[in-house]
């Protein structure tokens, strides 16, 4: 059984959690309430045809043309911002903003029309070079003290065109594109430009973009962002794991009631639902649920079973109460004691002990669940990347 011994990042998260003042079931519950109520609104803007709608769909993990997806490859006619909800993070909204390419574009009017105050940050997409309107918009966003991020899209296009040339060097091409974009933005300082192919989020600068967004968000918003992004690369899967560890610690602390029901089994009834809910959410976040697997299979044009055989965890056929009960009554209950011994080496054990054994049992179960899902997610990703064109 996977243990905590090989997971330094989990121990780090636990240590930092227990170092907090007032660690208790109540503070943990408040924390989870905050996490569930926080909203994240991402604005995607740029000229018409740069790939805004395609990017919105990719962030939501839906295919272009699928029901409920943002329409792509169409001439934009609306001046309205369209809000798309995230398929499973109901508090994450991705907004497809109107194109900014009109000749008499005014950043102030535009931002008023799309309701500037709604968004946490703006992603400004451009191709070839950033234009005057992109700059005007960025300046106005900056003046109003919000963050914007420049994304240069369709990089796959450039790479495939350049690769036909003699002495092709991908790094060199990317560098040239980066310099040329930066040059077009020099009048507003020296902002980063993220080179992206929406069709291949695992390549180029997508991860760097996410890292930048994360650095500028509050804890709860960052958590919502990491959970909602597609499990498109190894770093992203690792990031999800770490974020889920953090939430698992809070969930376990919240589920811990009191020493009065410290006898394993007695508190199981109410905890099972909590554990199940958490693991189901983690499963979707890792892209391992039935719907996500179906989508990946369609995308790579392979039967679902080719992805399923790579999944070796107990969750390969989905998660239900039985699976969680199975975990609880078999190995984790037996090893929870050993787990407690390890935890006792960590500063803060005093507050932990006060929470009763249900904390360690719940936490160990969730930790094992996350670890197994991480391995499944990596295995599925490896297959997806092998067959993706």
Ligand X SMILES: Nc1nc2c(ncn2[C@@H]2O[C@H](COP(=O)(O)OP(=O)(O)O)[C@@H](O)[C@H]2O)c(=O)[nH]1
- Return d(Cα 62, Cα 87) in angstroms, integer: 9
Q: Could you say which of ligand X, Mg ion, none residue 15 binds, taking C-beta under 5 to 8 angstroms by partner kind? A: none
Q: Could you say which of Mg ion, ligand X, none residue 51 binds, taking C-beta under 5 to 8 angstroms by partner kind? A: ligand X
**x-or-dash string of contact with ligand X, 138-177, rule CB under 6 A:** ---------------xx-xx--------------------
Q: Does 235 bind ligand X (CB under 6 A)?
A: no
- Return d(Cα 320, Cα 322) in angstroms, integer: 5
Q: Could you say which of ligand X, Mg ion, none residue 153 binds, taking C-beta under 5 to 8 angstroms by partner kind? A: ligand X
Q: Does 72 bind ligand X (CB under 6 A)?
A: yes
Residue number, 54 or 133, with CB nearest to ligand X: 54
Q: How many other CB atoms sit within 10 Å of the CB of residue 59?
A: 22
Cβ proximity of 151 and 121 under 8 Å: no
Q: Could you say which of ligand X, Mg ion, none residue 113 binds, taking C-beta under 5 to 8 angstroms by partner kind? A: none
Residue number, 86 or 154, with CB nearest to ligand X: 154
Q: Does 53 bind Mg ion (CB under 5 A)?
A: yes
Residue number, 76 or 306, with CB nearest to ligand X: 76
Cβ proximity of 377 and 234 under 8 Å: no
Dig out the tokens for 122 from the structure. 């703006």
Q: Does 199 bind ligand X (CB under 6 A)?
A: yes
- Return d(Cα 39, Cα 31) in angstroms, integer: 14
Classify residue 125 by its DSSP letter: E
- Return d(Cα 62, Cα 360) in angstroms, integer: 37
Q: Which of 7, 28, 54, 327 binds ligand X (CB under 6 A)?
A: 54
Q: Which H helix or E strand runs over 84? A: strand 82-85
Alpha helix ranges (H) inside the chain: 8-18, 25-37, 52-60, 107-113, 132-143, 155-162, 170-184, 206-215, 219-228, 234-255, 268-285, 290-300, 304-308, 321-327, 333-343, 349-354, 357-387
Measured from the CB of residue 114, what is the shortest distance to ligand X in angstroms?
14
Q: Does 197 bind ligand X (CB under 6 A)?
A: yes
Q: Does 91 bind ligand X (CB under 6 A)?
A: no
Q: Could you say which of ligand X, Mg ion, none residue 60 binds, taking C-beta under 5 to 8 angstroms by partner kind? A: none
CA neighbor of 358 nearest in space, from 342, 340, 372: 340
The footprint of ligand X on this chain (CB under 6 A) covers a number of residues equal to 18
Q: Could you say which of Mg ion, ligand X, none residue 127 binds, taking C-beta under 5 to 8 angstroms by partner kind? A: none
CA neighbor of 129 nearest in space, from 169, 179, 200: 179
Q: Could you say which of ligand X, Mg ion, none residue 41 binds, taking C-beta under 5 to 8 angstroms by partner kind? A: none
Residue number, 46 or 287, with CB nearest to ligand X: 46
- Return d(Cα 31, Cα 383) in angstroms, integer: 37
Residue number, 28 or 173, with CB nearest to ligand X: 173
Residue number, 57 or 252, with CB nearest to Mg ion: 57
Q: For the chain, what is the radius of gyration of the CA atoms?
A: 23
Q: Which of 49, 191, 230, 235 binds ligand X (CB under 6 A)?
A: 49
Dig out the tokens for 316 from the structure. 């390969």
**x-or-dash string of contact with Mg ion, 33-52, rule CB under 5 A:** -------------------x
Q: Does 358 bind Mg ion (CB under 5 A)?
A: no
Residue number, 304 or 388, with CB nearest to ligand X: 388
Q: Which of 76, 113, 162, 238 binds ligand X (CB under 6 A)?
A: 76
CA neighbor of 154 nearest in space, from 93, 102, 203: 203
CA neighbor of 262 nearest in space, from 351, 356, 148: 356
Under the rule (CB under 6 A), what is the footprint of ligand X? 48-54, 72-73, 76, 99, 153-154, 156-157, 197-199
Residues of the shown chain interacting with Mg ion in the complex, contacts defined by CB under 5 A? 52-53
């Amino acid at each position: 059984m996977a243990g905590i011994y090989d997971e330094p990042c989990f121990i780090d998260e636990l240590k930092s959690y227990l170092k907090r003042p007032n660690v208790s079931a109540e503070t943990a519950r408040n924390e989870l309430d905050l996490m569930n109520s926080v909203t994240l609104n991402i604005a995607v803007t740029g000229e018409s045809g740069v790939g805004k709608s395609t990017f919105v769909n990719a962030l939501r993990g839906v295919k272009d043309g699928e029901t409920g997806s943002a329409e792509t490859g169409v001439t934009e006619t609306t001046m309205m911002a369209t809000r798309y909800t995230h398929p499973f993070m109901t508090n994450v909204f991705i907004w497809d903003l109107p194109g900014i390419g009109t000749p008499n574009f005014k950043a102030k009017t535009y931002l008023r029309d799309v309701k500037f105050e709604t968004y946490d940050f703006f992603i400004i997409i451009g191709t070839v070079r950033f234009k005057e309107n992109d700059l005007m918009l960025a300046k106005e966003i900056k003046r109003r003290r919000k963050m914007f991020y420049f994304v240069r899209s369709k990089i796959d296009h450039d790479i495939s065109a350049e690769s036909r040339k003699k002495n092709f060097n991908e790094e060199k091409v990317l560098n040239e594109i980066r310099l040329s974009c930066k040059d077009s933005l020099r009048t507003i300082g020296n902002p980063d430009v993220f080179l992206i192919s929406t069709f291949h989020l695992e390549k180029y600068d997508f991860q760097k973009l996410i890292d930048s967004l994360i650095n500028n968000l509050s804890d709860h918003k960052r958590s919502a962002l990491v959970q909602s992004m597609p499990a498109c690369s190894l770093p992203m899967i690792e990031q999800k794991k770490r974020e889920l560890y953090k939430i698992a610690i809070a969930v376990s602390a919240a589920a811990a009631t009191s020493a009065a029901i410290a006898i394993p089994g007695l508190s199981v009834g109410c905890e099972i639902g909590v554990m199940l809910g958490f693991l189901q959410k983690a499963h979707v976040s890792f892209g391992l649920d039935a719907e996500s697997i179906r989508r990946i299979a369609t995308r790579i044009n392979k039967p679902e079973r080719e992805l399923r055989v790579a999944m070796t965890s107990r969750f390969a056929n989905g998660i239900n109460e039985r699976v969680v009960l199975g975990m609880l009554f078999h190995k984790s209950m037996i090893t929870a004691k050993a787990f407690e011994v390890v935890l006792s080496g960590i500063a803060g054990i005093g507050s932990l002990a006060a929470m009763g054994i249900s904390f360690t049992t719940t936490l160990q179960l969730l930790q094992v669940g996350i670890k197994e899902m991480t391995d499944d997610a990596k295995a599925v990703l490896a297959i997806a990347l092998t067959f993706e064109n």
